Amino acid sequence: MKATIRSLFAALALLLCASSANADWHGGKLIRIQVAYDGSTVVFVAAGHIRSNCTCYSAWPDAMCLNRSRTSFKEEVALLYLARARGSNFYYNIDETTCQVVAMYESD
Tell me the CA distances in angstroms from 97 to 2, 36, 61, one per residue in order: 37, 20, 12
Q: What does CATH list as the number for 24-107? A: 2.40.50.340
What are the φ and ψ backbone dihedral angles of 15, each rounded to 5 degrees? -65, -45
- Give tens-digit pLDDT for 91-102: 999 999 999 999
| 35 contacts 41 by C-beta, under 8 angstroms | yes
User: Tell me, what's the pLDDT at 11?
Assistant: 39
The pTM of the full predicted model, rounded to 2 decimals, is: 0.75
Q: Where do the domains of the chain lie? A: 24-107
Kindly indicate the confidence band of residue 108, based on its pLDDT and cuts at 50, 70 and 90: confident
Nearest Cα to Cα of residue 96 among 54, 33, 50? 54
